[in-house]
Structure 1
C-alpha cells in the first residue's frame, strides 16, 4: 500500500504528540518533531529512495533508528511504536493538542483529573465549570478553551496545498495508466491554487465502457467508498481527503472543467452572463435552446460568452469577468519568470546545507541569483548570527562567488524586528549587505496600533529591503498578527522597499488580496522560497500560484528582474 512523505511525517508527528502526553524524554520528542518537519517538506519520494538503496541517514535529523522506522512504515503501513502508544493512551486524546491553549501538560491534567479524552468531553467539562478548578487553569482560561474547542469542532478539515498535491499527483498518475483513459485533470480549489484544499475533484475523459470508476475505487490508498456509478464515484483516502471522480464526454469536457474548477461565485456570474444573452450554461456545455454551441474546451465556453479565457487562479469573482470582457486580464507571472530567490538559509543557522550546496541547488532550479539570509542573533532557537558571525559569512560568500558559474550569491540577513521597531543588528554590519529582510518573530500578541508602528519604524531603516512573511501567519498553527496592512503597504511605497510572498507551504504569506493591494500601490513583491535545504526551491511554484491569485504579473515581482537591474534597485 503506497505511502506518501506526508503520511510518514504524520505518523512521526503523532508519535511526538503522544510522547509529550506521556511526559517522555524531551530529546526523543524533539527528534520526532524535527523528523516530521523534514519529511513533510521533503521533495523526493522516500519509498523510491529506499527502493533504490539510498541512505536516508543523509537527511537532516534522520539517524539509523528513524530510518528503520521509515522502512517499517513503507513496508507494512504501520509503526510498532505508534501502535504501542495508542494502546497506552486513549485513542482520541492527541486531538486535544490541536486546540489552541492546550499543551501536553494541560492535556495530561485534563485526562488524569477529569477523564477528558475527546474534544466533545472537553466542551462538556468547560460548560459544567469543571476545568476552572484545576491548578493552572481558572475561569478565563476555561472560557478561552471552550471557545477554541467549539471552533475546532466546527472547522472543516482542510489540507495544505502542498500536502494535497502529493495525493493529487499520485492519483492522477495512477488514473492516466488505466487503459482507455484519454485525459485526467484535477479541478476545484486545487486547480485555483487555494492555500488549503477541502477535497479533490478529478475529471476524466475515457473511452466508452471503460472501467475507470472501478479502477478509481480500488486505488490502494482508498479507505472508504462513498459512491460508485458508471460516470462518477467518490472515495475517502486513508489520510482523510475526499476525492470525487467525474467521467465526462469529450464534447462537454471544457464546460465540466470550468464548472468543477469554480469558484461558486465565478460560476454564478458566468451563468448570469449566459442568461443575459439568451444562453444556458451548465456542466455539459453552453446551449442556445436545445443546441449545444460550446463546451469541448474552456476557451470555447468563455469565447461564446464574449470573454477571454480566464486563468483558474483568478476565478473568484473579483473583477476577472469584466477584465476578460474588456481584454484587460493580467499576463500572470509564471514560475519560469523567476530569476532569483531573496530568502534562504544554510546550516550556519537553522538550514541543512552549506553555502555551496544551496548555490548549486538554486542554479539547478533555474535561478540566476540567491540571497543567503540567515537569522539574526535575537532568534536564539535558530542559532542566529551576531555581527561577527555575519561578517564571517559575508567574507565566505564573497570568496564563493569567485568560484561559482551560472549563479550569483547575494549577501543578506533575515533580521529580527524587535518590539520597539529597531533591527536586531547594528547599521555597520547591515551596510555591508545586498539584502536586508526584516521579520517579526516575537510578540505576535501586540495590539494593532503597536504592531503596525513596530513594523513601520523598522521600514524606516535605510538598510531595510523587504518585509518577510508580512502577516506572520502559519497555516493551521498560528493566525496572522493584528496589523494594518494597508498602512504597511503605503509606507513600503513611500520608502521604496518591497514585501515578501513567502512560498513555504505552511505560510503562503502575503495573502492574495494583499498581493493585489501591493500591485495597485506599485509595491514590488518578492516571491521567496524561505529555503532551509536544497529541496525547498520547489516550493516556489506554490508562491507563484498565490501570486497569480493576487493578479501579479512578472513586472510586479521583484525577483523576476535580471541581476543587474535588481542590484541597481537595491542600491537606490
Structure 2
C-alpha cells in the first residue's frame, strides 16, 4: 500500500511551502490531503487506477495529478522544485516539538543547522538563545522536544501499525495454507506504540507460508529466512517476525510472544512453584509436555482464569485473577456510539448525512457531531449563524433515519482564563457539550487545572475532551492535578474523554484506570475529521480495556434513549 508514501511526500511539500512562507491555505490543502490519504482504509493506488482520487475529501484535479505522479515515480515535480529552493534537511527539524517553520529557517540561515544532532549541540552551547527573537525558554523547549523525539525512536503509534498487521494476516489467510494465525506482541496487548510486528501461525506446510510471506507486496526487505521463522522489513520501515509453531504448543507460544515480559515472568514463577516449566514450547513437568495447545491451558496450569491480553502488564492482573476479581472488560461489540466527530460545518470533510451513513456501516446507533466553537478560527469554528444551519441539518437527518441518530453537539474551547468560548445561553441549545483546551499549553499546572475545573463546574458541560492534551511522540501531556480533576468530575457527573484518535489516545490507559477507580464515567470519541478516522473507535475501546473498564464505566455502551436521558439529567 502506498498511502503512507504518498502522504509523506504531500506532508513534506506542505512543510517546505510553510518554510518558504507560502499561502497558508495552500499549505493547509497539502496537509489535509496527506491526512486524508493516510487515513484511507483502501489503497490509494487502487483509487488512482479507478479514477476515483477526486472522491477523497480535499483532493481536486491538481492534487490528483500530483498523487498519480507520486504513485508512479515516488516523487513529483512540485516536490523536486521545492527541494531545490529550500534545503530538505529542514524538514527533520520540523519533526521536533517546539520547532516551527520560521524557527527552522532562522536556525539554518544564522547557524547553518541542518540536523537534529546539530541543533541539540547548539542548544546545549546556548548559541540558539543568542539569535534574534529566540528566548532562553524557547531553547529549553527545543531541548525538551528533542528528548521527547528520542523517547519514541523505533516505536510507532498503534494506529499506524495495527492496519498493516491486519493486512498481513488477511493476505496470508487468503494466499497461504494457514491453519491458525494471530498477531502477538504489543499489538495484541494494544499498547499505544509498537516496535515491531509478531505473527504466529500453524500450518501443515510452513515452507509454503514463508514463501508467500516474503513475496507479499508490503515487504521491502528480507532480513532472515528460515523454515519456521522469517523476518522482513516492510516498505513502511517496521520489522515483522513470522513464526510457524507446532500446533501442540500454539497456545503456549501465543501467550509467550504476546507478553509482556514482566507478566510472563510472573506466570513462569507461579509455574515453578507448582513444579512446572512454562515457555513458548509448552507446559512441562520434567521432560513431559503436559499442555500448551491452547492459551487457557497456560493460565489453568497455574490456577488462574484466562487473562485478556490488554491486561498483561503486571499491573495487578495476576493478583486480581487469583482473587477472582478480574474485571469483565467492555467488549468492542458493546459500543453503540461515537461521541466526537467533526463535520463540514467546521474542519471535518464529511456532511452529516455521510457521517450517519458511516455510523450505519460501523454498526453504531448514534454519533455526536461536535464541531469547533467560534474562537478556533483556524479550524472553521462555528458562529451562531452556522450553529443554526447545523442544527437544522441534524434535525432533518434524524427525521428520516430510523436506525442511526445524530446528536447536535459542540466541542467548545476552554479559553485561557477558564471561560468557555460560547455563552451559556448558546450552550443550552446543544444536546451535547464537550469542553476542550486547544491553546495555552505552556501555562503552569495550577492554571491549566483551574481551567478544566471551571469547565467541569459549568452544569452545561457533559464531557471534557482529550484532557491532558498530549500528542504521542509530538507533545507531552500538559501538567495537571489529575487527582483533583477526577474528584471534581465524579462529583459533578461530568465524563472524561478517551480520545481515540491514534496520535492522542487521551486519556491514556493508566489515567483511564485511575479515573475509573475514582468513579468517573468515560466517553470514547474518535475526534474524527474524516470518515475513515471513525474507524479509530476501536483504539479508544482498547484504551478502556487496558484501563480495566467494564461496560458500566463507558457511556458509549448506552443506547440512544439511555444517552439522551443521561444528557438531560446532567444539566437538570
TM range (shorter): over 0.9
Partner of 2:11: 13
Partner of 1:185: 182
Query: Which aligned runs of 4 or more in structure 1 are off by greater than 6 angstroms?
Result: none
Question: Matches of 2:92 and 2:530 in 1, distance apart?
Answer: 30
* Residue from 234, 250, 253 that aligns with 1:253: 250
Partner of 2:35: 37
Q: Structure 1 152/566 Cα, relative in aligned 2: closer, same or farther at 3 Å?
A: closer
Residue 380 of structure 1 and its aligned partner are, at CA, apart by 1.3
Aligned 8 A contact 1:156 1:198 in 2: no
Aligned 8 A contact 2:330 2:550 in 1: yes
* Residue from 351, 354, 358 that aligns with 2:355: 358
Aligned 8 A contact 1:437 1:466 in 2: yes
Question: Matches of 2:498 and 2:346 in 1, distance apart?
Answer: 22
Q: Structure 1 24/157 Cα, relative in aligned 2: closer, same or farther at 3 Å?
A: farther
Partner of 1:473: 470
Question: Matches of 1:422 and 1:242 in 2, distance apart?
Answer: 48
Question: Matches of 1:86 and 1:176 in 2, distance apart?
Answer: 42
Output one character per residue of 1:372-428: Cα deviation in whole Å (capped at 9) or x when no partner: 222111111122123343244334433432222212222221111122222221222
Output one character per residue of 1:75-130: Cα deviation in whole Å (capped at 9) or x when no partner: 34444444555566656442121123322223223333333222223234444554
Q: Structure 1 78/213 Cα, relative in aligned 2: closer, same or farther at 3 Å?
A: farther
Residue 292 of structure 1 and its aligned partner are, at CA, apart by 1.0
For residues 59-78 of structure 1, the aligned pairs below 5 Å read: 59-78=56-75
Q: Structure 1 82/259 Cα, relative in aligned 2: closer, same or farther at 3 Å?
A: farther
Question: Matches of 1:403 and 1:214 in 2, distance apart?
Answer: 52
Is 1:267–2:264 an aligned residue pair?
Answer: yes
Is 1:345–2:342 an aligned residue pair?
Answer: yes
Question: Matches of 1:19 and 1:420 in 2, distance apart?
Answer: 34
Aligned 8 A contact 2:277 2:285 in 1: yes
User: Which sits farther off after the overlay, 475-484 or 253-262?
Assistant: 475-484
* Residue from 431, 441, 445 that aligns with 2:442: 445
Question: Matches of 2:399 and 2:313 in 1, distance apart?
Answer: 48
Partner of 1:484: 481
Is 1:397–2:410 an aligned residue pair?
Answer: no
Question: What SS class does the counterpart of residue 234 from structure 1 fall into?
Answer: strand
The normalised TM-score by structure 1 is: 0.93
Residue 297 of structure 1 and its aligned partner are, at CA, apart by 1.3
Aligned 8 A contact 2:366 2:406 in 1: yes
* Residue from 282, 295, 301 that aligns with 1:285: 282
Question: Matches of 2:130 and 2:305 in 1, distance apart?
Answer: 63
Question: Matches of 2:256 and 2:62 in 1, distance apart?
Answer: 49
For residues 7-406 of structure 1, the aligned pairs below 5 Å read: 7-51=5-49, 53-86=50-83, 92-137=89-134, 141-142=138-139, 144-146=141-143, 148-149=145-146, 152-153=149-150, 155-208=152-205, 210-406=207-403
Output one character per residue of 1:426-472: Cα deviation in whole Å (capped at 9) or x when no partner: 22222232211111111111111111111111111111111111111
Aligned 8 A contact 2:207 2:228 in 1: no
Question: What SS class does the counterpart of residue 182 from structure 2 fall into?
Answer: strand
User: Which sits farther off after the overlay, 139-148 or 235-244?
Assistant: 139-148
Question: Matches of 1:331 and 1:154 in 2, distance apart?
Answer: 33
Partner of 1:460: 457
Aligned 8 A contact 2:365 2:560 in 1: yes
Residue 31 of structure 1 and its aligned partner are, at CA, apart by 2.0
Is 1:551–2:565 an aligned residue pair?
Answer: no
Output one character per residue of 1:531-563: Cα deviation in whole Å (capped at 9) or x when no partner: 323333211111111111111111111121122
Is 1:495–2:487 an aligned residue pair?
Answer: no
Q: Structure 1 88/251 Cα, relative in aligned 2: closer, same or farther at 3 Å?
A: farther
Question: What SS class does the counterpart of residue 106 from structure 1 fall into?
Answer: helix
Question: Matches of 2:352 and 2:218 in 1, distance apart?
Answer: 39
- Unmatched 5+ residue regions in structure 2? none
Question: What SS class does the counterpart of residue 210 from structure 1 fall into?
Answer: helix
User: Which sits farther off after the overlay, 174-183 or 282-291?
Assistant: 174-183
Question: Matches of 1:538 and 1:142 in 2, distance apart?
Answer: 39
Aligned 8 A contact 1:6 1:163 in 2: no
Question: Matches of 1:397 and 1:158 in 2, distance apart?
Answer: 40
Partner of 1:424: 421
Output one character per residue of 1:252-274: Cα deviation in whole Å (capped at 9) or x when no partner: 21111111111111111111111
